[in-house]
Amino acid sequence: MDALLGMKKKIPRASARVVFPEGENDRIILAASRIVQEEIAKPILLGRADTIRKLAVEVVPSLEGISIVDMFSSSKLDEYALQYSKDRDLPIGAARLILSKPVYFGAMMVKTGDADAMVGGISTPTEEVVMASELFIGMQEKISTPSAFFLMEIPEFKCEEGNLLIFADAALNPNPTPEQLADIAISSARSARKLLGWEPRVAFLSFSTKGSAMHPDVDKVVEAVRIAREHEPNVLIDGELQADAAIIPEVARKKTDGTSSVAGRANILIFPDLDAGNIGYKLVQRLANGAAYGPFLQGFARPVSDLSRGATVGDIIGATILVVIEAQGHESI
């Protein structure tokens, strides 16, 4: 976890309040204890207080530094339901029913400023984490498509940022439109700047490089490049590029005219669809012994991250590090 350990150094103080909707999960409890010990954040566990305390006896020495919020005994449930019913013009009973689900309650905590970020998904489907985040947290300015990225740490690969690359989207959007691809690219560029301090160089990938092939799939990528450049003219964006032309300088010189600021030196790779993205990151992971950190959600107005069902304690801590770094830029910290 060299990359994440390096990012952890960017956390100046453990002041970010991170809510974990699945507070009754033993891996979440153990991760929360480690997060306190390593001074990464202030964890908030959602769940039945008695259940969490009983589980904690088996996995951690102490719950010191960890807040527990029992939604059904908290006055916040009624307060949130009243606010949400007004915001959405819903009956208060319906609003209360929605907010009785921990992931929705956690997202509302972030919306209202009672938490700075949310990490969920270890026992909640990704679709529900994304839906809760869209409904309550909302999207960043000029972004309408939630997406996800993997931070790839690849031995033997060298670029201007060391051996790291961002792959997007390899988790959420099966067949993105040109507009959605542009959103994915813009969100990824913002993530790279905020989380890693990179100057983004975004390559839209294809089986074609600069018109070497003609196909509707290539046209989709070309249109996505146009839209992304129009929306973010100050970000270095290029495409369509084959993967080797995107990251290998020698290949880029052969396949392009040499004027691109991205070709051969991209640090963000935008895959044309979920098939390509998922296959690509798994091949790098298995054939090049690459470490794949993520998927990390992006595009939301406030920091939120999804966990896989098989997430380890280390994965939970890694996701927390990222949302804390993102949260550092918000006024509530």
CATH number of the domain residue 246 falls in: 3.40.50.10750
Cβ count near 12 (within 10 Å) = 8
pLDDT of residue 294: 81
How far CA 126 is from CA of 100, 129, 273, 308, in Å, comes to 18, 5, 18, 8
Residue 213 counted as domain residue:
yes
Give the residue carrying structure tokens 């790291």.
164
For 285, the token pair is 């992971």
How far CA 295 is from CA of 37, 64, 148, 203, 305, in Å, comes to 25, 30, 6, 19, 8
Cα–Cα distance for residue pair 241/208, rounded to 1 Å = 6
> Any idea what DSSP says for residue 162?
B
* Total domains, the chain: 2
pLDDT of residue 333: 32
pLDDT of residue 47: 94
Residue 220 counted as domain residue:
yes
For 332, the token pair is 């509530």
pLDDT of residue 270: 98
Cα–Cα distance for residue pair 169/267, rounded to 1 Å = 14
pTM (predicted TM-score): 0.88
Give the residue carrying structure tokens 């740490």.
153
- Residues spanned by the domain of 80: 2-138+300-327
DSSP letters spanning 216-260:
HHHHHHHHHHHHHHHH-TTSEEEEEE-HHHHH-HHHHHHHS-S--
- 161 and 245, same domain (yes or no): yes
- 270 and 162, same domain (yes or no): yes
Give the residue carrying structure tokens 């006055």.
75
3-state percent breakdown (helix, strand, coil) of the chain, nearest 5: 45, 15, 35
pLDDT of residue 82: 94
- 43 and 154, same domain (yes or no): no
Secondary structure class of 332 (helix, strand, coil):
coil
pLDDT of residue 330: 45
pLDDT by residue, tens only, the chain of 333 residues: 677 777 787 787 778 999 999 999 999 999 999 999 999 999 999 999 999 999 999 889 889 999 999 988 888 999 999 999 998 999 999 999 999 999 999 999 999 999 999 999 999 999 999 999 999 999 998 899 999 999 999 998 998 888 999 999 999 999 999 999 999 999 999 999 988 889 999 999 999 999 999 999 999 999 999 999 999 999 999 989 999 999 999 999 999 988 899 999 999 999 999 999 999 999 999 999 998 888 889 999 999 999 888 889 988 998 999 899 988 864 333
- 127 and 205, same domain (yes or no): no
Secondary structure class of 9 (helix, strand, coil):
coil
Residue 332 counted as domain residue:
no
